[in-house]
Amino acid sequence: MRKLEDELKFKTIKVSQKGQISIPADIRKEVGIKKGDELLLVKKGKRIMLEKSEKFAKKVKEEFDDLIYWNEKVLRRLWLNKEDEIWDEYLKSDKK
């Protein structure tokens, strides 16, 4: 079981005149952020969150895998629908 201290870490950082921040070295090391890595900044209301882009992309992909599966299942049912064939025949006869 994880302890709360393992989950939360607080650091105070300052914003430069140009709006830049520096992520403390110990946090960069723990999270695996290296020079040149892309980070995603998410804003909701007055809150912001930083996350490694690749990590976020993996989470989104995993969440959308189920959605893709169910969409394909529904589409397969529609494509194999005999009424669709009737509709196709109707459209062909309408063009004559």
Tens digits of residue pLDDT in 51-86: 888 777 677 677 677 777 777 777 777 666 666 666
pLDDT at 16 over 90: yes
Neighbouring residues of 38: CB distance < 8 A, sequence distance ≥ 6 = 52, 53, 54
- Alpha carbon separation from 4 to 28, 46, 87, 96 (Å, rounded): 20, 24, 60, 72
Q: How many angstroms separate the CA atoms of 75 and 81, rounded?
A: 10
Q: Which domains does the chain have, with CATH numbers?
A: 4-95 (2.10.260.10)
pLDDT at 23 over 70: yes
Question: What string of DSSP letters covers 13-43?
Answer: ----TTS-----HHHHHHHT--TT--EEEEE
